Structure 1
């Protein structure tokens, strides 16, 4: 630990055809590259379980007191990255890997129907699109474990959380492209947290739609041999 501000990144555990969930792979990649010397990053794998999700996310906010929590999920059948603005409280009808779903079909009984992140995800997506990266803004996270985890984190973390759906197909599934993109997205979100009024009109220098190696992707490649020992 550097004694700096804490950012927590979560990814999900095995689910259906994903013996190793791509969201957890991405979280481990982010642990390798980090967010700078003044930020401590913690990663947690979250089982695809409603009960375990609530336990782990509550523990994160109660014990680590992070500045920001980033939850990674998988956009099945998509080659795009989605930035989710909103978490929903109700409508959870699908069973988890344990065969369970909440009897109330709610995340937090009596809680608001929806919660939005303090980060303006539309502004973040617009900035990256202007730089040539097709990051998609979304207000519907799917009403399954990703959405459930997001709402629970927004509720307990005073809305200081993000949900990013990573692709399950296409070129961005390559860790040396996805991890630097996620790193830059999260840096942009953290910058917005520092100054919510800061305009996000500056063009970024990195173009993640092309296979060119950037400084950040080089950082990842230098360390990726360690990834499988985590």
Structure 2
């Protein structure tokens, strides 16, 4: 029997006004419903702390050797499941849950300003929206310059672009935890289909660099 596809999915702990973080609720629901027999799914909750992310992410990639890592975060501005195409290295000025921010305000010293996922989020978005699951999906190119963007950049850097980030709305605005879990399941299954069709290529040594200006 073929080896299972290893997938790591993370959500974040509560922060600020998000006393219940819908990202972790959604990931727990995804864990409950799974990604099918062929996928070995590991989930974990990420602290909203820059230094904790710096420690945790290398360990996740090293220990699990996943085909892809999908990070899920909450956005108070989101009304859809929002697929982030890329992440940014600089501009981290907001204090985390420990009232800390990096002195350099950057993620990886001398890293590229922006790294794109090897996944084509526009295609994932279209496929899921066309499937009429009742949960709207959109694409963004700005993950917000906080722990979401920071975590995504670290993961893209460590995983040579084999990472994805999904922003979800707060619970009930408009989706329930079951809706969010179902939406994540559909999005991630589509991502895995895309990865199977496009094996990793050498030019994605550190993912594609992008030049979006914000």
TM-score, scaled to structure 2? 0.86
Which of 147, 150, 153 aligns to 2:152? It is 150
State the match for 1:141 in structure 2: 143
> Radius of gyration: which is bigger?
1
State the match for 1:59 in structure 2: 59
Q: How many residues align?
A: 195
User: 2:166 aligned with 1:161, yes or no?
Assistant: no
Is the Cα–Cα contact under 8 Å of residues 3 and 40 in structure 1 kept in the other structure? no
Structure 1 stretches lacking a partner, 5+ long? 198-230
- In structure 2, C-alpha distance between the alignment counterparts of 1:54 and 1:170, rounded to whole Å: 31
CA displacement, residues 188-222 of structure 1 (integer Å, 9 cap, x when unaligned): 0000000039xxxxxxxxxxxxxxxxxxxxxxxxx
RMSD after superposition: 1.6
State the match for 2:101 in structure 1: 101
Structure 2 stretches lacking a partner, 5+ long? 200-214
User: 2:43 aligned with 1:43, yes or no?
Assistant: yes
State the match for 1:201 in structure 2: none
Residue 171 of structure 1: SS of its match in structure 2?
coil
Matches within 5 A, 1:52-131: 52-131=52-131
- In structure 2, C-alpha distance between the alignment counterparts of 1:134 and 1:36, rounded to whole Å: 22
Question: Which stretches of structure 1, 4 residues or longer, exceed 6 Å deviation after superposition?
Answer: none
Residue 96 of structure 2: SS of its match in structure 1?
coil
Which of 189, 194, 200 aligns to 2:196? It is 194
Q: 1:131 to 1:33 in 2, by over 3 A?
A: closer
Matches within 5 A, 1:18-37: 18-37=18-37
- In structure 1, C-alpha distance between the alignment counterparts of 2:141 and 2:21, rounded to whole Å: 23
Residue 19 of structure 2: SS of its match in structure 1?
coil
Offset, 1:100: 0.5
User: 2:174 aligned with 1:171, yes or no?
Assistant: yes
Is the Cα–Cα contact under 8 Å of residues 9 and 42 in structure 1 kept in the other structure? yes
Offset, 1:34: 1.2
Offset, 1:130: 3.1
Q: 1:5 to 1:130 in 2, by over 3 A?
A: closer
Residue 45 of structure 2: SS of its match in structure 1?
strand
Offset, 1:181: 1.3
State the match for 1:207 in structure 2: none
